[in-house]
């Protein structure tokens, strides 16, 4: 069972309770295509995060968020550069551990 953090944020003049999902490995992997093009346009990342990683007790149109409201919501989530760090490949294992062997023949 995932734990969710609850926050109260004002959006469009109305106080809304926002729950933040505890991210999983697969949540992070799902945004990899959004961050792999080398662009500095992170709007698709934030749209994905606001829709999939946050839940709201009231409906609203995320396309009408003010810059301040968007910044307030984004402060609840990992920054794109942090997620990119999680996606980077780790050093490969030693060659011996990566090969299968049936013994010396």
For 14-59, what is each residue's pLDDT tens digit? 999 999 999 999 999 999 998 887 788 899 999 999 999 999 999 9
**Domain extent for 45:** 4-88
Domain-embedded: residue 84: yes
Q: Is residue 105 part of a domain?
A: no
In a domain, 95, yes or no: no
What is the Cα–Cα distance from 56 to 78, expressed in whole angstroms?
A: 18
| Residue at 17 is within a domain | yes
Task: Judge whether 104 lies within some domain.
Answer: no
Residue 101 lies in a domain: no
Number of domains into which the chain is organized: 1
Interatomic CA distance for residues 53 and 63, integer angstroms: 16
Domain for residue 31, yes or no? yes
- Domain assignment present for 25: yes
The partner residues of 4 in beta bridges, in order of sequence, read 21
Q: Could you give the 3-state DSSP secondary structure of residue 97?
A: helix
Q: Where are the beta strands (DSSP E) in the chain?
A: 4-11, 14-21, 54-56
Q: What is the pTM of this model?
A: 0.76
pLDDT of 97 above 70: no
């Amino acid at each position: 069972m995932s734990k969710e953090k609850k926050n109260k944020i004002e959006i469009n003049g109305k106080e809304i309770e926002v729950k933040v999902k505890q991210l999983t490995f697969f949540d992070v992997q799902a945004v990899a295509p959004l961050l792999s093009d080398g662009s500095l346009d992170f709007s698709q990342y934030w749209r994905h995060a606001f829709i999939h990683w946050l839940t709201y007790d009231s409906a609203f149109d995320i396309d009408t968020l003010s810059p301040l409201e968007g910044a307030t919501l984004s402060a609840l989530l990992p920054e794109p550069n942090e997620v990119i760090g999680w996606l980077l490949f780790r050093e490969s294992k030693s060659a011996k551990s990566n090969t299968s062997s049936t013994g010396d023949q």
